[in-house]
Amino acid sequence: MSEKFKNHRGVITAAITFFVIELAIVLFRYHAYYHTDTSFDLGIFNQVFWNGHQGRFFQSSLSSSLSVSVETPFVSYHRLGQHFTPALVLWLPIYSLIPYAPMLLFLNVTLITVAGIVLYILARQRLEPNLATWITISYYCANAVIGPTLGHFQDFCQFPLFTFGIFLALEKRLWWWFGICAVLIVAIREEAAVVLFSIGFYLILSKRYPWLGLGVCLASLVYAIVVTTYIMPLFSHDVSSRFLIEEFGQFVEGNKTSSLDVLWGILTNPWRLFLELLTPFSPTLTYIMGQFLPLGFISLISGATWMLIAFPLLTILLRQSEWALSLDLRYSLTLVPGIFYGGILWWFYHPQAQKNRFFKRFWAVCLSLSLILTLTSSPNDALAFIIPNSFQPWVYFSPIQQWNHARIIEKLIAQIPNDASVSASPDIVPHLSSRREILRAPNVDLINDAGQKIWLDYMIIDFRKNQRFQVISSGDRRILAKDVPTVEAFLEKNEYGLIGYQDGVILLKRATPSDPILLSQWQAFRQQL
């Protein structure tokens, strides 16, 4: 065995293990049609990619249904009005090989895994192989990495790769590559400019390249303002009338705002800013400790780390969303590169600490604890086939139960033509989203490419999962209370007919008589609800 392979063996093993396990779990959950909060998002991204594969870039009828600027969803709606994500075009050639949602799951896991390899290369610029390996393994064991990867595809999965890339360019002084990575970072999403701004902030305060840092700060600030104020409103007004209000409405007044208004509101309300940063205290502290745990908290005492994550962390702490402080969700990925690069820099400037055997043992304990806490929390319910969703009350469905129920859904899906328009429940949407006309059930009216308002041909809804989870989820209770009467009204008015039913899953077809036997079975299930 060559010496070179021995040096890299730990990293290669960790990367392969991470990739295989994560991909196996997300693919199992996908094919098991397992209920998750982000299933609908996977459907949106898949339809965006599928339309891009067809030459209709960034269009999505699913995104249209979420827009505040749209009364009736339409197929040619451009998602760029909600999130400016031009970097997604980079992956279209790969997606085109298999233009379905599982390819996005593969891409999601691959990008996160490859980012770990780039991190190792980055660490080797300053550290010896063993320490660089420890840092890379810590990356693969971090809750902030495992959790989001076990979710569905998100544009944030590009952050670690591009940001580690820009740090590597900085180390090698490859300024042309630094510029490319900077462009790629801001192309991920409109708020990605905050990450780049923090990098510029670090370059200024650390005095490494202050003039470059100043240019990066100015460029990222101008980019964010131009994109959110002038470019995104060309497609829809969601960023000003919805997203900024939902996330940072405590700093502005009215039902419409801009990124400049939010920035001014933050700067002119220091007391509110202080309170938002500290509250809620316990979740905030838990979130920060969880981010630093995999590296043995070493980045916590690294000044470079705090410069690199200052502004992404600020935006996370100021968000009003109750899930913003979750290590399992996408925003946590924006902090990961800065925390790990800050750790690399700390170890480089404190070589004597590498001889401290006590700390190495402490680091190993932290690393193990991070992995254990992550897995036992079942991030994004990805391990629900092992860990119950709830212990009190008891809610658990075995892999066999999940798999058998999934086969029922697939049997009903097989009755829907590939070119038919369809309305589906969130967990089924990703499987049907490689098509032009699709909405979330029970929405049925849509404007097609001809500009005509139509009702969708088919509707498929899985009420069994809502029934199972209603004892622990208010969201599922609301769905049952709202959607079941809507379906009943469609059937009573003969607007849709029941042509398929089994185990709480219904398949309706427009302007078609209901099957009497299936209808009686549905009504029996309806009484249970």
Q: Which segment of 42-56, 393-407, 498-512 scores lowest on mean pLDDT?
A: 393-407
Q: What percent of the chain has pLDDT over 70?
A: 98
Give CA–CA dist 14/276, Å, rounded. Answer: 38
Q: Which segment of 4-8, 77-81, 295-299, 405-409 scores lowest on mean pLDDT?
A: 4-8
Say how many C-beta atoms besides its own lie within 10 A of residue 461's C-beta.
26
Contact 353, 359 (CB under 8 A): yes
Give CA–CA dist 441/434, Å, rounded. Answer: 16
Residue 2 pLDDT > 70: no
Residue located via tokens 């058998």: 404
Give CA–CA dist 21/23, Å, rounded. Answer: 6
Mean pLDDT of 184-188: 97
- For 445-478, the pLDDT digits (tens) are 999 999 999 999 999 999 998 888 888 888 888 9
Beta-strand (E) ranges in 349-488?
422-424, 438-440, 445-447, 453-455, 458-462
Indicate the average pLDDT of the chain.
91
Question: How many Å from the N-terminal Cα to the C-terminal Cα in the chain?
Answer: 63
- For 476-521, the pLDDT digits (tens) are 889 889 999 999 999 999 999 999 999 999 999 999 999 999 999 9
For residue 120, the cross-strand partners are none
Give CA–CA dist 129/8, Å, rounded. Answer: 8
Say how many C-beta atoms besides its own lie within 10 A of residue 365's C-beta.
11
Name the pLDDT band for 1 (thresholds 50, 70, 90).
Answer: very low
For 333, residues 6+ apart whose C-beta sits below 8 A from its C-beta are 144, 145, 148, 156, 157, 159, 160
Residue of 6 and 486 predicted with greater confidence = 486
